[in-house]
Amino acid sequence: MNGLKNDGISEIIDGKRVIVKKPELLAPAGTLEKLKIAVRYGADAVYIGGQEYGLRSNAGNFTFEEMKEGVAFAKEYGAKVYVTTNIFAHNENIDGLEDYLRGVGEAGVTGIIVADPLIIETCRRVAPNVEVHLSTQQSLSNWRAVKYWKDEGLDRVVLARETTGEEMRLMKEKVDIEIETFIHGAMCIAYSGRCVLSNHMTARDSNRGGCCQSCRWDYNLVEMEDGAEVAITQEGDSPFAMSPKDLRLLQSIPGLIELGIDSLKIEGRMKSIHYVATVVGVYRKVIDAYCADPENFTIQDEWLEELEKCANRPAAPAFFAGTPGADEQLFGVHGKKASHDFTGLVVDYDKATQMVTLQQRNFFRPGDTVEFFGPNLDTFNQIIGTVVDEDGNELDAARHPLQIVRFKVERPVSKDDMMRKGL
């Protein structure tokens, strides 16, 4: 992909080529806490869900008040907030839509991510200042459909996960519209929006947020021969599975930047703050490094290792270079454990005493070797010494979730830095 060039992406400055069109790094934010972490760790924009009309009925989901607070926080860092409003509505969902979209508009968000033309048009009418971005749920995978949505006045389109880099290039050449594409995270194995397994298997409507991920379950394959069933999956065989590996396009970030893609999106509104911080932090470094000096850019092993610390499935590049093979699906396994546990969030640090105040997120004890990382911190290892609770009582271990503890660290840390432990 490195050979592909688009106009207006780079310039020669002082004899050196630099990228002037830096793509937006767009991160998931399931809650206000995750929003703040994503922004602190380098996201240029975040997407959140409201109380209705989004596709993650189990995610945290923001009230209008929380949206306002999130927008204000993001603004301090120059970051934008988008609201996923991407259900395919039924008639019964039409009532209340106008009020909801007015509320979203009043919360000051930059845009909404929409799949259903009902919501596109209603937003135009009642919240005209809000940008409208087409959701990946529309499975947008050709340039003429991109042109259609451009002509309809949309500000941005999110492509189908099935789109290759070459296909993106033609879309960019043919149509002048912002393009957003997924670079990392879990994916549908079906064309998004075209799967109703949940509706049939559990009476939950996948296109209104009820997806129960039936595609990750195991099945047996059977063949009908002359009216009789013959098992293809035999006793002892791995069951039929269609669970995809997670998407990871770290190595293709240079290609995406050279294509002029406008926004690079990370999946995962249900993921932890540790996941958000880790993934956003890595891609922030990759994008910045490439844009500053594309000719001397190389992929650092430590970036890939860093992503493994929070990865709970093996990863693959999916459709970017063509239709993925059998090795990009999970057979016989459903995932893997991340290499590290998230053990604590830094609340405060006292320079004079070198004591960190930490909110416990997973079990750790004195003697453990842990790692601190943060948006402005060079990652370092620390052996934990004496740990005390809020009242100064010494602890044999930090056992309780969200418990506030203190101990000494060798290097300065700051609020929102994180502590993790290798497994």
- Give the per-residue SS3 of 290-358: HHHCHHHCCCCHHHHHHHHCCCCCCEECCCCCCCCCHHHEECCCCCCCCCEEEEEEEEEEECCCCEEEE
Within 104-163, the residues that bind another protein by CB under 8 A are 115-118, 121, 137-139, 141-145, 147-149, 160, 162-163
Of 117 and 366, nearer to another protein (C-beta) is 117
CA distances from 325 to 136, 195, 317 (A): 22, 21, 11
Q: Which of 15, 78, 128, 227 binds another protein (CB under 8 A)?
A: 227
Instruction: Give the strands of the sheet with 387-389, arranged side by side.
Output: 377-383, 369-374, 418-422, 340-350, 355-360, 404-408, 387-389, 394-395
Within 239-278, the residues that bind another protein by CB under 8 A are 240-242, 244
Q: Which residue has the tokens 């039929």?
A: 240
Burial pattern 316-329, b for ≥16 Cβ within 10 A else e, equals: bbbbbeeebeeebe
Binding mask 47-76 for another protein (x = CB under 8 A): ----------x-------------------
221 binds another protein (CB under 8 A): yes
Of 169 and 265, nearer to another protein (C-beta) is 169
How many whole angstroms separate alpha carbon 342 and alpha carbon 207? Answer: 32
What number of residues does the chain have? 423
Of 18 and 189, nearer to another protein (C-beta) is 189
133: closest CA among 88, 86, 100, 171?
Answer: 86
Of 58 and 379, nearer to another protein (C-beta) is 58
Are 262 and 182 spatial neighbours (Cβ–Cβ below 8 Å)? no
Nearest approach in angstroms of CB 313 to another protein is: 16
Q: Which of 16, 17, 194, 334 binds another protein (CB under 8 A)?
A: 194
207 binds another protein (CB under 8 A): yes
299 binds another protein (CB under 8 A): no
Within 80-109, the residues that bind another protein by CB under 8 A are 88-94
User: Strands, E, within 43-129: which ranges?
Assistant: 45-49, 80-85, 111-114
Within 307-366, the residues that bind another protein by CB under 8 A are 319, 323-326, 329, 331
Nearest approach in angstroms of CB 29 to another protein is: 22
Q: Which of 22, 68, 124, 204 binds another protein (CB under 8 A)?
A: 204
Angle in degrees, CA 290, 291, 297, rounded to 5 = 25
Of 14 and 225, nearer to another protein (C-beta) is 225
Which range, of 40-48, 77-85, 192-200, 300-308, touches another protein by CB under 8 A? 192-200
Within 369-408, the residues that bind another protein by CB under 8 A are none
Element spanning 285, H or E: helix 273-292
Nearest approach in angstroms of CB 187 to another protein is: 11
Of 194 and 336, nearer to another protein (C-beta) is 194
Of 19 and 215, nearer to another protein (C-beta) is 215
43 binds another protein (CB under 8 A): no
- CB-based burial label for 419 (10 Å; 0-12, 13-18, 19+): buried
Nearest approach in angstroms of CB 324 to another protein is: 6
274: left (phi over 0), alpha (psi -120 to 50) or beta: alpha
200 binds another protein (CB under 8 A): yes
